[in-house]
Structure 1
Amino acid sequence: MSDWHLPALTATIRIIEVGGIAVIVLGIVGSTIAVLWQIASGRAPGDAFSVYRSNIGRAILLGLELLVAADIINTVAIEPSLQSIVVLAGIVLIRTFLSFSLEVEIEGRWPWDRHKKEARQEASM
């Protein structure tokens, strides 16, 4: 690699990581402001809390996707060793489990049940 590739890749990875962290933090702050606004506007706290959890979950999911992307770039482009690939596999496995769990929490159903819900909605129309 030439002299400028490594610093450029490192900077790109850091930008993506900061972006992932920013998405999570701003998502939590924005969701908190939105839920407080909804409660102040007269929405039932239970309904507002449900939307709050969903919004926070979506922010975490998006942030995790960016962090995984940064890890993949780091492993493939900067540190392509067997040890870094094993570490990446562990990180991706853990984050995939977290993403899957958050998706179930947000949607309230298993991902493979999506077509069943859509079929029920079409049948009720």
Structure 2
Amino acid sequence: MEDNVKELIEITALVIEVIGILVLVFGTFLAMGRYAFKLQGEDIRSFQKIREEIGRSILLGLEILIAADIIATVVYDAQMEQILKLGLIILIRTFLSFTLEIEIEGKLPWKQEKHRTTGKK
């Protein structure tokens, strides 16, 4: 029974990884298609807009991949080398997510402006 649970967790992690990869691929193609057919609107330059859209799809894809890594840790044996590799992968993906967020928003996440009418973020 324990092997069935491990296998189910491995399959779940794999499915979530595939979803993360699909988000990266489809998000990039969608942004490029919108750029090619000029469906982005006229208020911002198209190049800036496509970078933001691709950045957002990469950001979402990375967050999904991090979730898959966390789920996959349940089935790993507690060997230090595997834990360090997984920790490094998560650290790199988190750093990439953080830097993409800064590039897209143009400011640090904790420096968000408050909404003028309600005083909320």
TM-score scaled by structure 1? 0.80
Q: Deviations over 1:2-52 (max 9, x none)?
A: 23223222211111111000000000000111112227x8848x6111111
Q: 2:80 aligns with which of 62, 65, 82?
A: 82
Equivalences, count: 117
Runs of 5+ unmatched residues, structure 2: none
Distance of aligned partners of 1:92 and 1:6 in 2 relative to their CA distance in 1, 3 Å threshold: same
Q: Residues 50, 92 of structure 1: CA spacing in aligned structure 2 closer, same or farther, 3 A cutoff?
A: same
Which residue of structure 2 aligns with residue 26 of structure 1? 26
Q: Which runs of 5+ in 1 are unaligned?
A: none
Distance change (3 Å), C-alpha of 1:42 and 1:88:
closer
The corresponding residue for 2:14 is 14
Cα drift, residue 74 of structure 1: 1.5
| Paired-residue identity, % | 43
Equivalence for 2:114: 118
Cα distance, 1:118 vs structure 2? 3.1
User: Which position in structure 1 is the counterpart of 2:48?
Assistant: 50
Q: AA paired with 1:76?
A: V
Stretches (4+) displaced over 4 A? none
> Which structure shows the higher helix fraction?
1
**Match runs of 1:62-81 below 5 Å:** 62-81=60-79
Aligned-partner Cα distance in 1 for 2:65–2:88: 14
In the other structure, the counterpart of 1:94 is: 92
Contact 1:27 1:55 in 2 (8 A): yes
> CA distance change for structure 1 residues 8 and 118 in 2, over 3 Å: closer, same or farther?
same
User: Contact 1:75–1:84 at 8 Å: present in 2 too?
Assistant: no
Question: Which whole-Å CA distance do the structure 1 matches of 2:89 and 2:35 have between them?
Answer: 32
* Alignment root-mean-square deviation, CA: 2.3
